[in-house]
Chain A
Amino acid sequence: MPQFDFAHVLWPQLAWLFVTFAVLYFGVVRLTLPKLGKVMDARESSISGNLATAQAVKQAADEIDARYHAEMNASREEARKAIADAKAKAAKSTEAKLSKAGAKAEAALSEAEDRIAQAVAKAEGALATAAAENAQAIVARLTGVEPKLDAAKAVVAAQA
């Protein structure tokens, strides 16, 4: 194999390999790759920066959304409370009015009853007087003696 003919292939190849590699490393790769690396890093950081910005914006939006929902819930709750309060107040005032009216009606009723009782008593009194007068007149016609009205009244009361 010519590869193992070192007397012939060793130094020429090693020398030119090191020349080639030195030129490649210092003259080509070191001049070009850093430029490429810079661009790649810039791209990476710009992409990750954009992603971070997007994430931050999304988070802010989420916060606003959560706040909106919380506020909506709070105001809904408030409205519900206001409605319940108003309802309770209305119910209370209705009850008060009803009870007041009820009391008034009762008072009027008892007054009327009193009046009726008075009227009945008065009527009863008048009836008794009339009966006594009638009895007086009857007695006067039958006996010619006019009895006293008070005695007639007493007799009528005793007869009743």
Chain B
Amino acid sequence: MANPMEQFSVETIKPLSVAGYDVSFTNSSLWMMIALAAVSIFLFVGTARPQLVPGRWQAATEYLYDFVRKMLDENVGPEGRKFAPLIFSIFILVLASNLLGLIPWVGAFTPTSHVTVTFGLAMIVFVTVCVVGVWRHGFHFLALFWPKGANVFLGAFVFVIEFLSFLTRPFTLAIRLFANMTAGHVLLKVFGTFVVTLGSFGALPYVFGILPLAVTVALTALEVLIAVVQAYVFALLASLYLNDAINLH
């Protein structure tokens, strides 16, 4: 049985190094580039000649953009519109990586199944939230962690908890996406292996492979759903964190 973790191994395609750091072009980099290319084509074609009455392609891009804008309107308010491009970038990169990684046979790699990548994305969100919060509210940004109307001792206690929970946000954000992607791909791989193992039962070939094959098909559909939902969750949480920085409470 093939190791189900093998699919996550990062293979160097072209070794590179900058200032002593290893920045080799790997299969992970390659699939990030493929995702970038897919998103670029989608966006550039969709907005090539924007019309008041949109064509199909423009309608598709508008649908996604409108989705992000509505999410920001609902969770952040009118000032959230400024951050629509950022949240949109994060959302579409995660979505493209998740979905492209599910393509079978082509040796697809899912960058979002690596905690390094999801943590990098989470840090983009976290740093943005901190910068926006401090820039808008200055020292008063710390009021985010202080419970309103509590006495000093209880307040200090809650402050510590709130502050720690704020610091764990990038980790939870990163691990949620990474764990979902990894688990899904492992599950697919395991059931895929079952198809081969059970299907090659000598006395009665193929027959027993049908059940795990059906499960794999069902799981693939589920994974497509999860790929979309997790991209949405990532963007939704990013906008909720952004809301904290913009509106405090």
- Complex contact A36–B115 (CB within 8 A): no
Contact of B62 among A1, A24, A25, A36 (CB under 8 A): A36
Given contacts A20-B35, A24-B36, A29-B43, contact A12 B85 (CB under 8 A): no
- Complex contact B9–A24 (CB within 8 A): no
- Complex contact B46–A16 (CB within 8 A): no
Q: Tell me if A's interface is mostly helix, strand, loop or mixed.
A: helix
Contact of B115 among A4, A29, A32 (CB under 8 A): A4
CB distance from A31 to the nearest CB of B (A): 8
- Complex contact A16–B28 (CB within 8 A): yes
B: interface residue count bin:
35 or more
- Complex contact B116–A6 (CB within 8 A): yes
B207 within 8 A of A: no
Interface 0/1 of B45-66, CB less than 8 Å to A: 0110011101000100110011
- Complex contact A3–B47 (CB within 8 A): no
Chain B residues closer than 8 Å to A33, beta-carbon distance: 43, 47, 65, 84-85, 88
A134 within 8 A of B: no
- Complex contact A16–B29 (CB within 8 A): yes
A: interface residue count bin:
35 or more
B193 within 8 A of A: no
- Complex contact A3–B36 (CB within 8 A): no
A40 to B39 Cα, complex, angstroms: 20
Interface 0/1 of B23-45, CB less than 8 Å to A: 11110110011011001100110
From B26, B47, B51, B84, name the one whose CB has the most chain A CB atoms within 10 angstroms: B47
13 new A-B contacts, CB < 8 A, other than A3-B182, A27-B40, are A1-B5, A4-B115, A12-B24, A13-B116, A16-B29, A17-B116, A17-B117, A21-B93, A24-B36, A32-B44, A36-B46, A36-B50, A36-B61
Given contacts A3-B115, A21-B93, contact A12 B50 (CB under 8 A): no
Given contacts A2-B9, A12-B10, A12-B26, contact A36 B114 (CB under 8 A): no
- Complex contact B29–A13 (CB within 8 A): yes
- Complex contact B8–A2 (CB within 8 A): yes
Given contacts A9-B10, A11-B23, contact A25 B86 (CB under 8 A): yes
Contact of A12 among B23, B47, B51, B121 (CB under 8 A): B23
- Complex contact A36–B47 (CB within 8 A): yes
A31 to B161 Cα, complex, angstroms: 41
- Complex contact A15–B32 (CB within 8 A): no
A121 within 8 A of B: no
- Complex contact A40–B116 (CB within 8 A): no
CB distance from B67 to the nearest CB of A (A): 12
- Complex contact B10–A2 (CB within 8 A): yes
Give the B-binding residues of A (Cβ under 8 A): 1-4, 6, 8-18, 20-21, 23-25, 27-30, 32-40, 42-43, 46
A147 to B92 Cα, complex, angstroms: 162
Chain A residues closer than 8 Å to B65, beta-carbon distance: 33, 36-37, 40
Chain B residues closer than 8 Å to A8, beta-carbon distance: 10
- Complex contact A3–B114 (CB within 8 A): yes
Chain A residues closer than 8 Å to B117, beta-carbon distance: 13-14, 17
B184 within 8 A of A: no
- Complex contact B22–A12 (CB within 8 A): yes
From B66, B84, B120, name the one whose CB has the most chain A CB atoms within 10 angstroms: B120
- Complex contact B61–A20 (CB within 8 A): no
Chain A residues closer than 8 Å to B8, beta-carbon distance: 1-3
A91 to B34 Cα, complex, angstroms: 103
B209 within 8 A of A: no
B111 within 8 A of A: yes
A-facing residues in B103-143 (Cβ within 8 Å) = 111, 113-117, 120-121, 124
- Complex contact B62–A40 (CB within 8 A): yes
Chain A residues closer than 8 Å to B153, beta-carbon distance: none
Chain A residues closer than 8 Å to B61, beta-carbon distance: 32, 36
A18 to B121 Cα, complex, angstroms: 9
